[in-house]
Amino acid sequence: MKSTFSALAAAAFTIGSVLPASADEPMGMLKNTAMFPVRALGVGAGMVVGTPVAVTRRVSNRCIGYTGTFADKIGGKDSLPPVLFASVLGVPFGMIAGSAEGVYFGGKNGIVHGAQKPFSIESFSLGEELE
């Protein structure tokens, strides 16, 4: 037990002597320490709420985009029959691609924006730009 403790203490001393000292002023360190739980909750809330929002936004955009592209290939997206036939393939493709993109962007926004600006619109994937 003593040898394990002394080995851990020696490793901590070695690592501590190699790492650079923190140059934060005391108030900055105090603020960062106090904001850590808020930022952690902001990241968690951003991922839990923002991911379904991002999935919904990306799925709707991709379904509309794929349906319009497919409709242009069979007669134009300005008339109803080509749009109806194109939606048979456009909607499933849009759901698959949009779901994957939404999970990625929702998680990314939750982590990045949730840590920088906790509980902001961007962390919940509700900002102007999703990416």
Cβ count near 131 (within 10 Å): 11
- Range from 24-33, 52-61, 70-79 that averages highest in pLDDT: 52-61
Q: Is residue 121 part of a domain?
A: yes
Number of domains in the chain: 1
**Taking the model in full, what pTM does it have?**
0.73
- pLDDT tens sequence across 8-45: 555 554 444 444 555 557 788 888 888 899 999 999 99
For range 68-91, the mean pLDDT: 91
| 81 within some domain | yes
Q: Which domain holds residue 59?
A: 27-131
Tell me, yes or no, whether 14 lies in a domain: no
Residue found by looking up tokens 């190699």 in the block: 18
Q: Tell me the pLDDT of the chain averaged across its residues.
A: 84
The answer to whether residue 84 sits within a structural domain is yes
Identity of the amino acid at 43: V
Domain presence at residue 99: yes
- Residue 51 forms part of a structural domain: yes
Residue 14: how many CB atoms within 10 A of its CB? 10
Cα–Cα distance for residue pair 52/64, rounded to 1 Å: 18
Is position 129 within any domain? yes
Helix (H) or strand (E) holding 108: helix 80-116
Q: State the Cα–Cα distance between residues 110 and 113, nearest whole angstrom.
A: 6
Measured CA to CA, the distance from residue 30 to residue 21 in angstroms comes to 16
